[in-house]
Each structure stands twice: as C-alpha cells, then as structure tokens.
Amino acid sequence: MPHDENLTADRPTFVSHLECAMTGERYEADRLHGLSRVGRPLLVRYDLAGVRGALARETLAARPADLWKYRELLPVRHTRNIVSLGESATPIVPLDKEPGNVWVKDEGRLPTGSFKARGLVMAIAMAKELGVTTIAMPTNGNAGAAAAAYAARAGIEAVIFCPDDTPEINVREIAAQGARVYRVNGLIDDCGKIVGAGKEARGWFDLSTLKEPYRIEGKKTMGLELAEQFGWELPDAIFYPTGGGTGLIGMWKAFDEMEALGWIGSRRPRMYAVQAEGCAPIVRAFETGERHATRWEGAHTVAAGIRVPQAVGDFLILDAVRASGGKALAVSDAALIAAADDSARRDGLLLCPEGGATLAAYRDALATGLVDAEEKVVLFNCATGLKYPLADASRWLDRHAPVDWAEL
Amino acid sequence: MPHDENLTADRPTFVSHLECAMTGERYEADRLHGLSRVGRPLLVRYDLAGVRGALARETLAARPADLWKYRELLPVRHTRNIVSLGESATPIVPLDKEPGNVWVKDEGRLPTGSFKARGLVMAIAMAKELGVTTIAMPTNGNAGAAAAAYAARAGIEAVIFCPDDTPEINVREIAAQGARVYRVNGLIDDCGKIVGAGKEARGWFDLSTLKEPYRIEGKKTMGLELAEQFGWELPDAIFYPTGGGTGLIGMWKAFDEMEALGWIGSRRPRMYAVQAEGCAPIVRAFETGERHATRWEGAHTVAAGIRVPQAVGDFLILDAVRASGGKALAVSDAALIAAADDSARRDGLLLCPEGGATLAAYRDALATGLVDAEEKVVLFNCATGLKYPLADASRWLDRHAPVDWAEL
C-alpha cells in the first residue's frame, strides 16, 4: 500500500557531474563534496536531454504533489535513500486585502514548519546515500530544526550550532528531534567557523548553506513547483527573503533547467532579494555594483532567518537578481512587523517576520512603481508564523460574574 | 491564472436536506440551522445518486490535492463563498521506528496548524453563504485560531471564548488573526454557555462543535482523503484523539457516503477513540455500555484539545466506535508525553500532545493484542507540535574560548 509512489518507485536519474559555480571546473558525481577548490559552491549538473526524454509535464501532473515528484531533476540515485516527512507542495494564498495581484507561497506548511525542509531533506538523503554518519551545521534556527528531523529519520547524528539569541522554540525543536544543539556566543558565521574546525577535529560532514551541493537542489523545487502551479507561466515578480540565498539561487537554476527541458520559455520573473535594514550586505553590494558582498558588521534584526552577515553564494544571488531585472531591497523591522500584523489580521494568514519583510518590500515596490498593480507577484513566506512571538490581545471574563454584553 | 481550479471552478452541488442525527427529522437545506428541535446535531444529506453520476474517482485524482476537490460532497453552493488558506491534503508519514505498520496523518500541516481548519473553513464558508456577520465559539485553542483566520478572510466578525489556561500561543494567534478573544474562568463547556447566552443577547451565530451542521462536513474530508491516499482501501484501524469527536463522526459519515458512491466496499477500519485518563467521558460510557456520556468532573490533562468534559455528539462517537468493532481508550499524561518525545527523537516527527495520545494508545493496543503487527494503522496528529512546550536540551559554547572537541 504505497500511498505515495514518489517515495517508493524507482525512477531514472540524470546527474552527470558537479561544477564550481565560479570557475566551471568539473567534479565527479556520486562522491562527497564540500566547496570547490577555490572555496565556492558546487552546482549539480544533469543530462537534461536525458531528462527531456524521460519526463514530460503531463507525467508530472499525474504524480502525487510533493517535491519527490521531480525525482529526475534531483540528485538521489537510490529510492531507498529517500527520507521523507511528507514534503507536500505548498499552497499559494492570495492576499485579497492588499492592492495588486499578490500571492504568498506559504512555505511554513512544510515539515518542521519552514522552507528549510526542502534543502535539508535533499542534503540528508544525499548524506545517507554517500555514507555520512554525522552532520554538523550552523543555523539561525529553522535550518537546524529541519536538519535534526531528517537526520533522526535517516539515522544520522546531527550536531547543530546556533547564535545564543536564536528563538527558543527553534533550539527546543532541534533538541527534541534528537540533535545535539549548542548556543554560541556569536552570529551564524561564528557558528560556521566552529563547524569548519570540527570537520577536521571530529570528522563531521559540513551541511552549511551552499557548502555542500544538495541543499540548493532541494530548494530549487520551489521554482519547479511555482511553474507547475502557475500553469507553466511564471509570475512577473518574486520577493524572496534573503539570508544565505539558497532558495533564490535554486529557483534561478530551476528556471534555466526548465527552459532547457522546453517546459517554460525564456521569460523570467524579476527577482527581488529582500533583506532587513539592520543586515543588508546583498543590498549594499547590489547598490554599489559589486559582485561580492562584504561582511555586514553589527547585524541586527528581529527577522533572525535573514540575519546573515555574509553569504558564500553572494555572487550567485547578485548575478540572478541583476540578470532578472530585479533589485535587492531593504526594509525596516517596524515595516516588516506591521506587514505581518496586517496579513494576519486582514487576510487570516500568519507570516513569519521574514515573510513580513517580503510583504513590506512589495508594498514599497508598488508605491515606488517598481511593480505594477496588474503584475502577478509571489511573496515567499519561509516559515510558519507560529514559531514567532505574537502580542497578547486577550481579555478576561469571570464566568461567575454576570456578563456585561454591551462590553463584548 | 487560477492555480487551483478547485477554488474557482463552478461545480454541481448535491445537498438535499439536513436531518436530526437522533430522530431523523428533516430540515430544509440552505437555511441557517443550529441544533435540531431535540437539541441534537444536524447532519447534511446529499443526493448521492446525483453525486455518483457527476463525480468519479478518476476525476478526483486529476484535481488539485486540497479538500475543495470533494466539492460535490460539500455543502457550499456558490464558488464565490469558498474561503481558503490553502487546505492541501495532509501527508501520511510512517513511524519507521515503531513496531507494526503505523502511519501518522499529520494534520498539523493545515492552515493555522491544526485539523480544526477543515471544519472551520467549511463552517465559515457556509456562514458567509447564509449571510452571517458575527460568529462566536468556545475553544480549547486550535478551533478558535482556525475560526479567527477564516473569519478574517471572509470579512466576518469573530468572538472567541477559551478557558483561562488555554495555551498562550493559541490565545495570541486568535487575537493576531483579528478576533476578539476572551479568557474565561472555567472549562470549554463553561465558555459554550457564554456563547449560548450571547446568541440571544448579541445575535451571534454559534459555531460550537456540532451545534452548526457544517464543521462535520469539513472534517469528513479526513475520511475522503484517507481513502484516496490509501488507494480506496481503508486501513485496518484508526486512532483518533477524541474531544468533541467531530472528526471521528465525520470520517464515519464519509465512509458511508463513499460506499453509497461505490468508491469503497463495506469494510470499515476499527475506530479507536483516544482520550486522556484525566478526562475520559467517552471511555467511561463505552465501558459501561451507555449511549450517552455524563459530564467528566474535574477534567485535567496536558492535552488541552481533548479536555472536553461533555460532548454534544457523544452518542454519534459511541455508535461509530461500537459499529466499527473499535474501542474507547484512555492513556495517561505520562504515556502521551513519552510517546510524543519518542516520535520526535526517533522519527523526526513532532506530534502535539493529542497526537502523542494516539501513539500511546496504539502502543497499548499492540501490547494487549487489540491490534496486530501486520495490520495497517493510522494515527491522527491533530496539530503541529510547534504549538506546545518542548523541553530545552541545548548546551552552551563560548566562541572566544577554545572549543573542547572531546566534549562535543
């Protein structure tokens, strides 16, 4: 009784090799890899002609709606190595009360409540396939939670490091899901340094953003899913909360692969990378025309997920944003909080702070004419709003006292 | 660009009438109804011969995977009255580390993080269709959150009453989603009395469990979805956390409707109604052979969702459990907490306490031979585990101090 054939059916796979995103140097598939020789991310390449012969859009439509339906465009060779907590396609919810044509892709509906599940399910499946026994990674919270959950399922040990002010719920869910979790007196890149050192000292496999090649393959399913949900016509603009930027890079990669397969044309959405004013290295590099971003000192924002002072894939983010005709945009904490409040109160959709940031940036973009009210726009809500503090606005009632109906 | 035709396509509807679940007395469709004349729930009846002609299992398979795909078996007449936050089909996740063949249907993946979304999306859509402007309801938390979110989307005012010790996160999400929420010095049935009185005093429409006819229609989609996911062969046993019991009653109704449509045969899963030892009115009634359950005094359990001292649909729950060859089972708080801990740590799946209760009951059932290890069993996890307290198990690391690798 396989209720999801995506998880149990053997399907052909098409990875041909990996290549350095900076130099194009080739690396062999089916071996453990970290960064390239020049210290940059590796991208997975496929025999796309082979995929084209094996997989049609109509075939996809008939498969169960989860990310494993895209198996021919994913790196896992052996079905037995698939780990899954039910990575169902995330819904696209219109914000009816906002002006324009704007939808939220609600990634908070994935396992462990965030889009980190997409990247980590793939990274852990590949770690399993390639014989890894212990993974380590730095996290601002949600990535660690996803890593812990999938590692538990795969029988892989997980060691997680997060900044000491990481939301309490994230630290607790990581621990509950069987990982060893450490709070570190520093930011996420400080945590990354500990992982880097432990790699040698303890033989950990480093699952940091873009430091292994497979999280991006999982994240690219956001682009595949979006195209399929929009009837193979991509929206006009995408607002993406950008910390490490894996999802933005992954979607951009997915668009190219889909064009090569003849599934979509050459038109692309304008990609808007959204950051917080208190941590906006990509915005600064975009505005000064740099291809690499320098570290943002003194990073601070309530949107912990995008508090990433330095991203190893900075040039990939900036290349995609520029090629798309988009921009990198910063919003204030006040604006992202207000946007999230409005979405919950008026549209019934609880956004995480990073999701609120995309709504705030969209509002700015509409006001300044970057986006037209006729255009189709998708915002990414990267995690469930339930993981974040909400204000108390309850009143009290004593059932033994007479109810004053006029007051209710 | 309708990305989900279920929400936009007009489809034939087949409601013929409503009837009292106790006496069978008929009530007219398309009018506002509360309880029947004898104070019992009303059930929605369909022209099933009509549905049979209009909807085949193959048609269903081709529709987007959310609960609105079952439109011909739902009460909403006019497509414009559909409210939606993306009610995607919930995944079924195997618990690989447990003995036997056991899956969790993870209802925490629905909008607002609980299965309450299924019932409330339907109740609010029907409230909109029938011209309601203000709804009120008692809640232990999750139902209020779902009601608030959908009411916000529908432009309907919501007034919510919850026990004063309702989980903080529930109270806050209800308020954030635009409802007026009151903490009441009492239990859920005390809250229900306030709603009952306010109905007259303030003209509220009462959305209490089973006191309006449509929440059960939304909840029955759990049964429809389960049948479809299991290839139209229902599992051998279902463990369902039982407070008001709408879902259990709804699934049982769905099974009968599907049999009438020729979608499934006459075989039924054994239904196990799971309660907490500190609040087990259905278990007591089951064991003493009663058809109605008396109020459970001094109700207490950490599983707030099943702390329901008295259920208006008690006889419907007990009838279904008995007809199925199942049982009503009680578990201790210690057992449900341990089960939820194990699921997170070993299978990477964070259950809510009520979901943990079903796992604890399943373990007991396997140990006592109620369930066989060869049988296919489904547990219902009714809400995301993220809404509930998790123990802290993090350690600390000072990045300025040398890392003691031996300790990590």
Contacts of B87 in chain A (CB under 8 A): 91
**Using CB atoms, which residue from A3, A84, A182 is nearest to B395?**
A182
Rounded to 5 degrees, what are φ and ψ at A319? -60, -45
Residue of A nearest to B202 (CA): A405
Alpha-carbon distance of B69 to B227, in angstroms, equals 14
Q: Buried b / exposed e across B23-57, counting CB within 10 Å, b at 16+?
A: eeeebebeeebbbbeeebbbbbbbbbeebeeebee
- Where residue B367 falls among pLDDT bands split at 50, 70, 90? very high
Does A148 sit within 8 Å of B391, measured CB to CB? no
Q: Does residue A36 contact residue A21 with C-beta atoms inside 8 Å?
A: yes
How confident is the model at residue A404, as a pLDDT? 85
pLDDT on residue B258: 98
Asked whether the beta carbons of residue A386 and residue B201 sit closer than 8 angstroms, the reply is no
Domains A92-113+216-386 and A116-206 share a fold: yes
Mutate to test the interface with B, among A7, A68, A85 (most CBs of B within 10 A): A85
User: pLDDT tens for residues B50-87?
Assistant: 999 999 999 999 999 999 999 999 999 999 999 999 99
Of all residues in chain A, the one with the smallest CA distance to B147 is A348
Number of H helices and E strands in chain A, helices first, is 14, 14
Pairing outcome for strands B92-94 and B15-20: unpaired
Report strand pairing: B327-331 vs B376-381. Answer: unpaired
Q: Give the C-alpha separation, B389 to A171, whole Å.
A: 12
Mean of per-residue pLDDT scores for chain B? 96
- Give the per-residue pLDDT at A402: 81
Is B91 in contact with A96 (Cβ distance < 8 A)? no
Token output for A64: 């169960």
B134 → chain A, closest CA residue: A408
B319-346 pLDDT, tens digit per residue, is 999 999 999 999 999 999 999 999 999 9
B66: its two tokens: 């959310």
**Is residue A247 within 8 Å of residue A272, measured between CB atoms?**
no
- Taking the C-alpha atoms of residue A92 and residue B84, their distance in angstroms, rounded to an integer, is 10
Query: What's the confidence (pLDDT) of residue B126?
Result: 98
Residue A403's pLDDT is what?
Answer: 86
pLDDT at residue A406, rounded to an integer? 81
**Among candidates A3, A176, A186 on the partner chain, residue whose Cβ is nearest the Cβ of B350:** A176
Q: Which residue of B has its CA nearest to A401?
A: B185
The topology (CATH level 3) of A92-113+216-386 is Rossmann fold (3.40.50)
Query: With an 8 Å Cβ cutoff, are B92 and A85 in contact?
Result: no
Nearest to A403 among B92, B197, B348 (CB): B197
Per-residue pLDDT at A400 = 80
The reported pLDDT for the residue numbered A1 is 46
SS (H, E, C) B83-128: CCCCCECCCEEECCCCCCEEEEEEHHHCHHHECHHHHHHHHHHHHH
Considering only the beta carbons, identify the residue of B86, B88, B394 that sits closest to A183: B394
What does the block give as tokens for B278? 């500190």
CB distance A247 to A209 below 8 Å: no
B3 to A88: CB separation less than 8 angstroms, yes or no:
no
Please report the pLDDT score of residue B1 as a whole number: 46
Q: Which residues of B touch A150 (CB under 8 A)?
A: 348
Report d(CA A211, CA B383) in Å as an integer.
Answer: 34
CATH code assigned to B92-113+214-387: 3.40.50.1100
For residue B154, what pLDDT band results from cuts at 50, 70 and 90? very high
Which pair of tokens denotes residue B316? Answer: 């419907």
What is the average per-residue pLDDT within B141-168? 96
Chain-chain contact of A88 with B84 (C-beta, under 8 angstroms): no
Tell me which residues of chain A have a pLDDT lower than 70: 1-2
Question: What are the structural domain ranges in chain A?
Answer: 5-72, 92-113+216-386, 116-206
Q: Pairing state of beta strands B237-241 and B270-276? A: parallel
Contacts B385 to A, Cβ<8 Å: 173, 176
Residue of B nearest to A231 (CA): B3
Strand partners, B72: none
The pLDDT value given to residue B408: 81
Question: CATH for B116-206, among 3.20.20.70, 3.40.50.620, 3.40.720.10, 3.40.50.1100?
Answer: 3.40.50.1100
Average the pLDDT over B137-153 and give the result.
97
Give me the half-sphere count of Cα atoms (radius 13 Å) on the Cβ side of residue A104.
36
Condensed to tens digits (0 to 9), the pLDDT of residues A147-183 reads 999 999 999 999 999 999 998 999 999 999 999 999 9
Closest CA to A71 of A120, A7, A167: A7
